Structure 1
């Protein structure tokens, strides 16, 4: 949790308060701002992704932040919709093992076939903050710590896809 406090001390962005768009374009900036969002989350993290972009999500700081979040509060839920789970499974993505061990708090579903051509990627924190990449294959993103309307729009879409998507059973069976 000390790392979470360190992230909070270094940021001027406050979840639910800071409403300015932040434009970023590197994997490092994506990592940093995702950590800021996760560190300030108190209820939900919702991720829509093509393949759990390894340069953004498969690092010890992100995995530790998610682990600390859900272990510290069993009411927090992390939902991940992934278009291509095979790549994460094959490459031994750390979120796979974490989701397997913390399955009551972290759930991963394979995006329904009707939505697999969606090019975007996003992470929503508590329905207030969002990191949104129009093209999941690129690092250009818009981040906002208090854009409830856009979060609501993306969450409506996320929930519709979530209801039609199936759990990724391979994640639960693998012992990576």
Structure 2
């Protein structure tokens, strides 16, 4: 039991059909105005379903795995949103896919839910499309493997995943605070959430002057949260030759770009060996770098 609910795998579809329909009709048909004939499809009996139940065993959320290895029909009753039900359902579906030996999962995320799936490691691919009159984005996750990052949208999702899964520490190695990535409002907001929840954020920079001239929003945020953010500038010639960029958290999540001025690279939220390598690279460079005193707010 967690937060007044539990998630169960549905073994008997026929027995659980009424509970599944109760949630999906409330969310999709009544709330989102999806036609009932679209919401119900022939795949349902062939899918593996998970169901969230409240303390009185009433259905409050559901999701399914389709035979073509997709997550679908994720739905949580309005009164239970923001209480961890969706995350628990998604984790249960991912774990069930692992048990089945699947190596990849995909899904069609409603545009408003892209960030939700990114925080669990899913990356967008392809163009947005309309499904049941709602904007959607295809996303996928390679299970227990490194996930390739090929576009800016995927890069932003990778950042969201690594930041959201940090427990208390995040290390960022960047050339110039990565315009187009680290200045995006959703990324700044994610870093603010980490900072205000007790996290510590270290940032190594090749060129601290460029983000200062560009009025990078992270500098302003760091001045307001000066006990959490720390910036250092790389000065050693051997360190300045390093071409890559990355961020790594304290829970083995990372996003690495071989060339720091490009978006493409790779990411994983549970890659312990690679995370240890990146931390082992970051720490000695951090010790050699100088504090960015020019970032301090006046009067501090």
> TM-score interval w.r.t. the shorter chain?
0.7 to 0.9
Which structure 1 residue ranges, 4+ long, deviate > 3 Å from structure 2?
Answer: 5-9
SS at match of 1:63: helix
Alignment equivalent of 1:10, drawn from 114, 117, 135: 117
Residue pair 2:244, 2:256 contacting (<8 A) in 1 also: yes
User: For residues 6-155 of structure 1, what are the structure 2 equivalents within 5 Å?
Assistant: 9-11=116-118, 12-13=120-121, 19-73=144-198, 76-114=199-237, 115-155=239-279
Report which of the two has the higher share of strand: 2
Separation in structure 2 between the aligned mates of residue 174 and residue 151 of structure 1, nearest angstrom = 36
Give the 3-state SS of the residue equivalent to 2:227 in structure 1: coil
1:57 is paired with a residue of what secondary structure? coil
CA deviation after TM superposition for structure 1 residue 101, in Å: 1.3
Query: Cα–Cα, structure 1 residues 33 and 21, in superposed 2: closer, same or farther, change >3 Å?
Result: same
Matched, 1:163 2:295: no
Q: Is the radius of gyration larger for structure 1 or structure 2?
A: 2
Cα deviation digits, residues 140-163 of structure 1 (max 9, x gap): 111011111111111111000000
CA distance, structure 2, for counterparts of residue 174 and residue 134 of structure 1: 36
For structure 2, list consecutive stretches of 5 or more residues without a partner in the other structure: 1-81, 88-112, 123-142
Aligned length: 167
TM-score (norm 1): 0.87
Paired with 2:288 and 2:114, the residues of 1 have a C-alpha distance of 36
**Is the 8 Å Cα contact of residues 20 and 145 (structure 1) preserved in structure 2?**
no
Answer 1 or 2: which has greater helix percent. 1
Q: Secondary structure at the match of 1:56?
A: coil
